[in-house]
Amino acid sequence: MSLASYIGCNIELPITDDEYSDESLYIGGCFAGEENLQDVKKYQFTTPYVYEVSSHWGIEITEYMNQKTCAESKNKLLELCERMDGYLKQSDYFELYSCWVGEEDEKREGEITLQINNFDIDQIEIPEKTLVRIEK
């Protein structure tokens, strides 16, 4: 099984055409199929556009995980926020959700809201199955 991360937003985003990129984070397919995208859209997000955020492992930030993987997730989240800041208009938002592939329709375990440029990455926790609303 693989941990996938998805974003939902109110705008269409450019996606990476291939399934592999040397970039640490890109918008495009990796683990999930079309059914997974539809399930996460239906059960988790409030937005019309849904994408997998591919990084060859999902974004999860908890004190219980391997420190190297946690640090990579923090960097991915910061990079994602930086990219999305360029796409979003003032008062818009995007949503982030990470879960094991195949669990997109399961009940979420938490919700948090962050301001896109105003949070301390070392003070947040984002376990799997947590819906994160990131506002501009």
Provide the 8-state DSSP code for 68.
Answer: H
Question: Which pLDDT score, from 0 to 100, does residue 19 have?
Answer: 52
DSSP for 70-98, written as a single string? HHHHHHHHHHHHHHHHHHPPTT-EEEEEE
CA 79/CA 95 separation, integer angstroms: 15
What are the pLDDT digits (tens) for 103-112?
999 999 999 9
Percent of the chain predicted with pLDDT > 90? 74
Q: Chain-wide mean pLDDT for the chain?
A: 90
Is the pLDDT at 126 greater than 70? The verdict is yes
What are the pLDDT digits (tens) for 18-63?
555 555 677 877 778 899 999 999 999 999 999 998 777 889 999 9
> Which neighbouring-strand residues pair with 7?
51, 96
